[in-house]
Structure 1
Amino acid sequence: MLRDTAFLRLWAGTVASGLATWALPFVLGLAVLDGSLTAAGLGLVLAVRTAGFLAAVPVAGVLADRYSRRRVVGWAGAASALASPAIALGLDGSVAVMAAAAAVVGVGQGACRPAFQALTREVVDEPRRQQANAAMTLAVRVTTLLGPGLTALLATVTGTVPLLVGTGLLWLAAAALPPRGAAAPTAPPRRDPFHTEFLDGLREARRHPWFLAGLGALTAVIATGYSATGVLLPEASREHYGTEAVLAAALTGYTAGALAGALLMARWRPRAQGWAALAGLACYGFAPLSLLAPAHPAVVVAAYVVAGVGVELFNVPWFTAAQREVDPSRLARVSSLDFLLSYGLAPVGLALIAPAADALGAPTVLGVCALVCFLAPAAAALAPGARHFSRRPPAQGGRE
């Protein structure tokens, strides 16, 4: 893979978009610390960015199946690149300007996701596709592990405004670097209405029961387990241990586990790929389970390491299977459905966890969330084709 110039360009563009996406909320958090942005302003800007993302994902799925995926990535990255300096421009002046620019960045981010997924299928041949997906997620995890420290260090030298402009440069790289796909879709002479084409993508997703079941499990895990630990881990770290060190160690352990999982999936081809992936997804249940009652900090960190490994045991085969099984002319629309549900319902879970914990108690909420994380993937494993993430028998090439 490292000798494939086309893949390296795609990999670099994907990593640049992922880094820019991750960096914006962190840099704006630094702006809150130095007093140039209020916490309320931060919440508004990030909420508007999320709204832009969710609005763009279904539209981008249709456009990326209508036109060249490379062109969609280029326009989306360019829009985010132009909007990022505007966020910096409004930092000491107008939160409204920042919010408007953040909405454009969110639209660019949402448009890139399904287009990148479909472009990966065009650039990388099937035997190497799982390795390619592992390489991409590995780069994202390395960025997440090293990024906060490096960004905070740069902020002491340059300040937050140059860092915000730097995210625009990253988006520019994401727009310019990816290669043209070898099998870009050819525009047919007649176009159906937008809603008809989007529904056509839904029908394609329904042709793959394993995909709908897996997406349901993924959405349930993110909306419960991920949200519960995101909201309640800081509280548990402070109340159970009297220090935020457990919070930092758990999050670092999660990223380290995800790194290990990505490295493993670059080589491992389990015989029952789908079942192995769903078992990995279920491992996230250990994270809320470890917070039910005070335990040794090593138990919490170990649970998060296992959760991180499991997430990548799911992610890499999941993306690879979709690229292999879904009709190429509808892949971006199916991918947009994936991102729309899994990411779209996450804010709902985050908003409901704290009130639920106040009403029922944190242990009850954590226990229910852990149970959902274990049971949802188990139920998805019963769907037709779930064993291999394929509608075809293994003898006919249903697994790699």
Structure 2
Amino acid sequence: MHGYLGDLGLLRDRRFALLLSARTISVLGSAFAPVALAFGVLNLPGADASTLSAVLTAESLPMILFMLVGGVIADRLPRHRVMMAGEFVMASGFFALGAMLLIGWTPLPALIAAAALSGVATAVTFPALTGIIPEVVPLDRLQTGNALLGLGANASRVAGAVLGGGMVVLFGGGWALVMSGALFAVAGVLVALLRLEPGDRRRGEARSVLADLRDGWREFSSRQWIWVVVAQFSLLVMAIQAAHGVLGPLLAKESLGGPLAWSGFLAGEAVGTIAGVLISLRLRPSRPILLGVLLCLPTALPYVLLGLDAPLWVIVAGAFVFGVCFDVFGVLWQTTMQREIPAESLSRVSSYDILGSMMFGPIGLLLAGPAAGWFGTEESLLGCAVVIVISTLAALLSPGVRDLRAPQSRAAAHADLK
């Protein structure tokens, strides 16, 4: 208990408190979106799983296309300004989606354009977020800072999953999406209040974007543990996108009880991520990447349970396990990157990480709807579980994944050699 109270002392730092508040509110806005967007689109006249796939793909594809540019921007400009702009653009996209659903004007090209706007905003925000954390949090408290940011984000996911589903049922998806936009706008204001010392900012140099990208690629490709896990996640995220974005909501609508049942699934996952944060606050593994990759194996569990028509409470329990494992992986991964990658290249390396991890996500979304029609929803979910297990086992074959040690473990090993 004393250790946990010491971790909370980081909240007294004004800059970290602002970053934590902004991130927590932004994730709350994101947590409203999956249920609101999925059932808002599915309830449109004539809409089906392919319609939802098209809208979600329109959000995901620009995020991938602009991710590398987002990394360059975040390494050149003050990262809090980049994050602020991303939050405001995100707000605009969700305001537009909500307004279209509310007024009943929902041509598919317009929905796609609004969804694409939020994808561009995500591409700008994510690399800046990874890079700004070491500017705000002392090096020896990075894992604590990442875990506390995860705690705020995960609490928001719990609240958003419950409140989002309830708001969709009571008021409709349009109002839930408008609420998402408002929360992103508040997060943008909080980030605007974050002030970094001049020495903390990354000033741009007279260099081309391509030169910056080449430097970032060298940092990325020279570390086997990074590119192997990113390759693993390119397949894992494809399966998760298909299952979480289309197949899960579709099965919930068909046989589990609709949006409230899917909100229960997402809430179980979110509660699991909170438990994962509490574990990761104190966890100090000697081989963080090896442990993180091993924890990817149980993330297939909820899709197996969905595919086998398990009772809802069992499926929610599987989502809880998914949340625990994924959150511990996330904290270990972010902390290792922030410790191992030079600060001036961190956002660019992060953009390669995110781009590689998510590059097949749109394929998963595009194939999910047709796959449900061709093979069945349950069978497609089982296929997602198989992809997760195979890609994870392949990543474990890498020596870089198995052998990378945490700094404290390396120091102890060096002392033993002396």
CA-CA distance at 1:211 after TM superposition: 0.7
Q: Which one is further off, 241-250 or 256-265?
A: 241-250
Structure 1 residue ranges without an equivalent (≥5): none
Aligned-residue offset at 1:51: 3.8
> For residue 287 of structure 2, what is the aligned residue in structure 1?
272
Q: CA deviation at 1:41?
A: 8.7
Q: State the match for 1:137 in structure 2.
A: 150
Number of the residue aligned with 1:187: 204
Distance 1:169 1:360, change over 3 A: closer
Would you say the 8 A contact 2:268–2:316 is kept in 1? Answer: yes
What amino acid maps onto 2:25 in structure 1? A
1:146: which partner in 2?
A: 159
Residue pair 2:288, 2:336 contacting (<8 A) in 1 also: no
Per mean C-alpha deviation after superposition, the further-off stretch among 40-49 and 139-148 is 40-49
Contact 2:288 2:332 in 1 (8 A): yes
For residue 137 of structure 2, what is the aligned residue in structure 1? 124
* Structure 1 range deviating more: 58-67 or 31-40: 31-40
Q: Deviation of residue 238 (structure 1)?
A: 7.1
| TM superposition shift of 1:311 | 0.7
Match 1:9 to one of 1, 18, 28: 18
Query: What SS does the aligned partner of 1:178 have?
Result: coil
Residue 368 of structure 1 and its aligned partner are, at CA, apart by: 4.3
Query: 1:344 offset after TM fit, Å?
Result: 3.5
Structure 2: how far apart are the matches of 1:114 and 1:64? 7
How far the C-alpha of 1:208 sits from its partner, in A, is: 1.0
Question: How many residues of Structure 1 are paired with residues of Structure 2 in the alignment?
Answer: 396
Q: Structure 2 stretches of 5 or more lacking a match?
A: 1-9
CA distance in 2, matches of 1:165, 1:35: 21
Deviations 1:178-214 (A, max 9, x none): 34265322333x212x223223212211111001111
More helix by share: 2
**2-structure distance, mates of 1:229, 1:28:** 12
2:66 to 56, 62, 76: 56
Q: Which whole-Å CA distance do the structure 2 matches of 1:135 and 1:105 have between them? A: 25
In structure 1, the residue matched to 2:238 is 223
Instruction: Compute the displacement of 1:261 (Å).
Output: 0.9
SS, match of residue 185 in structure 1: coil
TM-score, length basis structure 1: 0.82
From 107, 115, 122, the equivalent of 1:109 is: 122
Tell me: CA distance 1:41–1:135, structure 2 relative to 1, closer, same or farther (3 Å): same
User: Which amino acid in the other structure matches residue 185 of structure 1?
Assistant: R
Counterparts in 2 of 1:24-43, with a 5 A limit?
A: 24=33, 26-27=35-36
Write the letter of the residue equivalent to 1:184: R
Inter-CA distance 3–37: structure 2 relative to 1 (3 Å threshold):
farther
Q: Deviations over 1:246-272 (max 9, x none)?
A: 655443322221221122111111222
What's the Cα RMSD here?
A: 3.8
Cα deviation for residue 335 of structure 1 reads 0.8
Shift in Å, 1:273: 1.5
Instruction: Give matches, 1:303-318, under 5 Å.
Output: 303-318=318-333
Letter matched to residue 312 of structure 1: D
Of stretches 283-292 and 199-208 in structure 1, the one that deviates more from structure 2 is: 283-292
Q: How does 1:312-327 map to 2 (within 5 A)?
A: 312-327=327-342
